Chains A and B, each alone.
Chain A
Amino acid sequence: GQNIDQPTEMTATEGAIVQINCTYQTSGFNGLFWYQQHAGEAPTFLSYNVLDGLEEKGRFSSFLSRSKGYSYLLLKELQMKDSASYLCAPRGGGGGNKLTFGTGTQLKVEL
């Protein structure tokens, strides 16, 4: 089975940097994905890590440590539009290339 832990809520200031952590336990591990979901909308794919280290993509970066079962999403130069839920989703073993989604971290960006 899979177990995913993320903070429920975070608040940050516009222009600042925020780090959203995710710890996971999976039976088999084949990569970890981060998604952004605005209220009332479908999730959108942000980033993917399969090897240890940092992947940078513009204002968003994602880090993975497979030995620790740990990942984080780093958002820089926060904007009001970054207020959303951020979902951590490891891909485990087994058929179907399934992802298991955490319950998400609700980020609120304030002025």
Chain B
Amino acid sequence: SQTIHQWPATLVQPVGSPLSLECTVEGTSNPNLYWYRQAAGRGLQLLFYSVGIGQISSEVPQNLSASRPQDRQFILSSKKLLLSDSGFYLCAWSGQLYEQYFGPGTRLTVT
């Protein structure tokens, strides 16, 4: 069966510090992968998606970037965090019906 991992679960970072969040998927090959952010009390905002290794599409302009160095690994990064980057970051992969399955998420607080 397929599983998706994200770490860390929680993170507190100062403004201006770098960020690296990692997501890995097991039990499937060449999945579509997605990064979302959910601000407190808000909906899910799609940040990036990837249909294959090295292929990244950005949905919104921001100071974040994403990379897919391996088939089942998706990384979200920032060189300098802003207060507005705080939120719940979720990674997801896409199944056969295009339904998406989410990882447990990383709760990021920028102070």
A residues at B contact (CB < 8 Å): 30-31, 33, 41-45, 48, 87, 91, 95-104
Query: Are the CB atoms of B44 and A43 closer together than 8 Å?
Result: yes
| A97 B94 Cβ-Cβ under 8 A | yes
Q: A33-B100, A45-B100 are in contact. List 16 more A-B contacts (CB 8 A).
A: A30-B98, A31-B97, A33-B99, A41-B105, A42-B103, A43-B102, A48-B97, A48-B99, A91-B98, A96-B32, A96-B49, A97-B98, A98-B34, A101-B43, A101-B44, A103-B43
Binding site for A on B (CB under 8 A): 32, 34, 36, 42-44, 46, 49, 51, 57, 59, 90, 94, 97-105
* Of B42, B59, B102, the contact of A42 (CB 8 Å cutoff): B102
Which residue of the partner chain B has the closest CB to A91?
Answer: B98
Bound complex: CA A96 to CA B105 (Å) = 21
Task: Across the interface, name the chain A residue whose C-beta is closest to B107.
Answer: A40
Inter-chain residue pair count (beta carbon < 8 A): 49
Residues of B within 8 A of A44 (CB): 102
CA distance A32 to B52 in the complex (A): 24
**B-side contacts of A99, CB under 8 Å:** 46, 98, 100
CB pair A100–B46 under 8 Å, yes or no, is: yes
- B49 and A98 within 8 A (CB): yes
Q: How far is the CB of A22 from chain B (nearest CB, A)?
A: 13
The answer to whether A104 and B49 touch (CB under 8 A), given A97-B32, A97-B94, is no
Chain A residues contacting B42 (CB-CB under 8 Å) are 103
18 chain-A/chain-B pairs, Cβ below 8 angstroms: A31-B97, A33-B99, A41-B104, A42-B102, A42-B104, A42-B105, A43-B44, A43-B90, A43-B102, A44-B102, A45-B99, A48-B97, A96-B57, A97-B94, A99-B46, A99-B100, A101-B44, A103-B43
